[in-house]
Amino acid sequence: MAKAAKHAKLTFHPFAVSALVGGIDGKTPALFRIDTTIKTACSKAAAIGSGAAKAQAYLDEHYTDGLNKAGAVALAVKAILQTGTLAAEEAEIAVISVEKGFSTYSLTEKRNAIDDVV
């Protein structure tokens, strides 16, 4: 019992962080999920955070290869909405493309993206 308690104490992560890192590998978009175990996983669609389980389940069921930018953003917004509400003022939407690199949505673009799926 003492050994198990000592092990549990050593594996506790009070400031654990998960991250999604996206980029372009040559001409191929790539998305990586990095979690508290320092493992990385390459994904086509991924969710992290408090509602990740519901959002990830939605992504797993509805993601299809070949989505265009509008379809991918709509899918992401719908996945987040599975966990509750989404306000444009509190959301960040970013897109990485081979043609334009990294870009973020303005408040108006975020409102439009959310309104398009609600």
User: What's the pLDDT score for residue 114?
Assistant: 95
User: What's the pLDDT score for residue 49?
Assistant: 84
Give the three-class secondary structure for 117. Answer: helix
How is 54-66 classified by DSSP, letter by letter?
HHHHHHHHH--TT
User: Which among 91, 100, 96, 95 is positioned nearest to 118, based on CA atoms?
Assistant: 91
Among the listed ranges 8-12, 29-33, 114-118, which one has the minimum average pLDDT value?
8-12
**What pTM does this model have?**
0.78
pLDDT value at 108 more than 90: yes
pLDDT value at 7 more than 60: no
User: What's the pLDDT score for residue 10?
Assistant: 53
The class (CATH top level) of 2-117 is alpha beta
pLDDT digits (tens, 9 = 90+) for 54-70: 999 999 999 999 999 99
Domain extents in the chain: 2-117
Burial of 80 (C-beta count, 10 Å sphere; 0-12/13-18/19+): buried
pLDDT digits (tens, 9 = 90+) for 72-88: 999 999 999 999 988 99
pLDDT value at 6 more than 50: no
